[in-house]
Amino acid sequence: MKRAIPAVVSTAMALTLVLAGCGGEDEPVDPNAPVTITLAGWSLSSTPEFKTLADGFKATRPNVTVELKEYDAANYDTQMIADLAAGTAPDVYVLKNLRNFYTYQSGGQLLDVSEAGSALGSLPALAPYQVDGKTYAVPYRQDSWVLYYNKELFDKAKVAHPDGSWTWDDYVAAAKQLTAGLKGAGSTATGAYQHVWQSTAQGFALAQTPGADLLSGDLAYLKPYYQRSLDLQAAGAQPTFGTANTNKLSYQVQFGKQQSAMLLMGTWYVATLLNQRKSGEADTFEWGIAPAPQYDRSTAGTSATPVTFGDPTGMGINPKISKSKVAAAQAFLAYVAGEEAGKALAGIGITPARASDPITETLFALDGVPGDDLSKFAYGTHEIRPENPVSNHTAGMQNVLNDLHSAVMSDSKGLDEAITEAQARAKNEVLTQ
């Protein structure tokens, strides 16, 4: 999908009367009656998007209160699956990515929200949530992975800034040049930081490599991406996987406290960096956004459309919700995926699923967000491919690939051995099930 999507009409209010009867004909619902719906969220003190959406919807529907229920961010899906099974889950819950959508949908844990979905107009991020012509969740965020860079550290190392045309070879060369240049200038910062997540290698490999298919069982496409990562580790141009794990390094500290000059990360980090600059958890320095390095020159440059990856973040309705609350919950879903909520999210640095020029302008008007042309291009122009294709095999494959990632990046197994072993496991443990 490309983040170049026409603006959509307001939907939440239009759905009020349409959805008022969704609770069943035997239970009429007064659309103006006070109602409270519960919404799952995580890290509420540092993740303002949930309160922003709840308050924004309250402004359009004063009779509806959205009450937040906090979950642990690291164990969100495990806790949510348990609560759904126990009947204690909130009325509306978040699908952090597409990895477990199949599990939720096929397990009957998502209400059909086609009424809300049909009112959203052109919204490509909606497609993954549609099964057999029905919609089971709506996207409210669509992050993509980009390259963050510290302009001041580039200047200190006397290395040219990214210009939007980089391939992975250019990125590797720059990381090494930065490390050497910074060392010569008396700095201990590294040229790059690669976080410990498997996404940092596998997401790009899957999205950018021609013919790559997570569900084929052929994992050879991963090899060049891991070769580069291992090369950067060996050269000292980024902290090793072992160091990052043992010392519990965070990408926020590595980039925000200027310990690394480059960081590949999702667009959600914009909001985090802005908040941490205000709190003092991050330094104040000149930074920018560039497109992620590309597989080859065919998609590199500001006259091309760079390829990156990212799953939408969506919301669905617990099928055990009280019938009297269904209309309000569906209207809330229509709101969170619409233009008004998109502007509200952009206003706190979050990338909404709904893309439009006014939304982009809102985000780049925030204090501290870089206003250069390359940053705007990187944020708004790219083809986003999913990290997690919707399938009954996706979760199992990602578990196998997470083991491969840890084995390769920790040097506990050779790259070829790890890929061969993962392919055998994929065939015997996942794809034949």
Given a cut of 70, whether residue 318 has pLDDT beyond it is yes
Q: Closest by alpha carbon to 270, among 109, 98, 141?
A: 141
76-126 pLDDT tens trace: 999 999 999 999 999 999 999 999 999 999 999 999 999 898 888 878 899
Q: Which CATH class is domain 145-307+387-431?
A: alpha beta
333-376 pLDDT tens trace: 999 999 999 999 999 999 999 888 888 899 999 999 999 999 99
Q: In whole numbers, what is the pLDDT of the chain averaged over residues? A: 92
For residue 14, the model assigns a pLDDT of 43
Would you state the structure tokens that stand for residue 187, as one six-digit string?
């700095």
Confidence grade of residue 29 (pLDDT, cut at 50, 70, 90) = low
Q: 61 near 16, Cβ under 8 Å?
A: yes
Same topology for domains 4-13+26-142+311-354 and 145-307+387-431, yes or no? Answer: yes
Give dist(CA 232, CA 230) in Å, integer: 5
Helical segments of 185-316, H only: 199-208, 223-234, 241-246, 251-256, 269-279
For residue 405, the model assigns a pLDDT of 98
Tell me how far apart the terminal alpha carbons of the chain are, to the nearest angstrom.
30
Q: How many CA atoms lie within 13 A of 81 on its CB side?
A: 13
Q: Would you tell me the crossing angle of helices 339-346 and 326-336 to the nearest 10 degrees?
A: 60
Give dist(CA 399, CA 378) in Å, integer: 30
Give dist(CA 14, CA 361) in Å, integer: 26
Given a cut of 70, whether residue 20 has pLDDT beyond it is no
**Residue 137 CB: number of other CB atoms within 10 A?**
30
For residue 119, the model assigns a pLDDT of 81
Q: 302 near 312, Cβ under 8 Å?
A: no
Counts for the chain of helices (H) and strands (E), in that order = 18, 13
Give dist(CA 329, CA 316) in Å, integer: 9
Question: Residues 227-242: what's their mean pLDDT?
Answer: 98
Question: Residues 17-30: what's their mean pLDDT?
Answer: 46
279-295 pLDDT tens trace: 999 999 999 999 999 99
Give dist(CA 341, CA 187) in Å, integer: 42
Given a cut of 50, whether residue 133 has pLDDT beyond it is yes
Give dist(CA 195, CA 295) in Å, integer: 20
Question: Residues 298-307: what's their mean pLDDT?
Answer: 96
Q: 327 near 16, Cβ under 8 Å?
A: yes
DSSP assignment of 195-217 equals -SSTHHHHHHHHHHSTT--TTSS
Domain ranges of the chain: 4-13+26-142+311-354, 145-307+387-431
Would you state the structure tokens that stand for residue 177, as one six-digit string?
């040049």
| 229 SS3 class | helix
% of the chain residues with pLDDT over 90: 86
Given a cut of 60, whether residue 189 has pLDDT beyond it is yes
Q: Closest by alpha carbon to 180, among 108, 261, 100?
A: 261
| 270 SS3 class | helix
Given a cut of 90, whether residue 27 has pLDDT beyond it is no
- Enter the pTM of the model: 0.87
Question: Residues 228-236: what's their mean pLDDT?
Answer: 98
Q: 43 near 156, Cβ under 8 Å?
A: no
| 150 SS3 class | strand
Given a cut of 50, whether residue 278 has pLDDT beyond it is yes
Q: What angle do CA 387, 50, 138 make, to 5 degrees?
A: 50
Give 309's strand partners. Answer: 385
What percent helix, strand, coil does the chain show, rounded to 5?
A: 45, 15, 40
Say which DSSP state 298 is in: G
Question: Residues 190-211: what's their mean pLDDT?
Answer: 98
% of the chain residues with pLDDT over 70: 93
Q: Determine whether domain 4-13+26-142+311-354 maps to CATH 3.40.190.10.
A: yes
Give dist(CA 55, CA 49) in Å, integer: 10
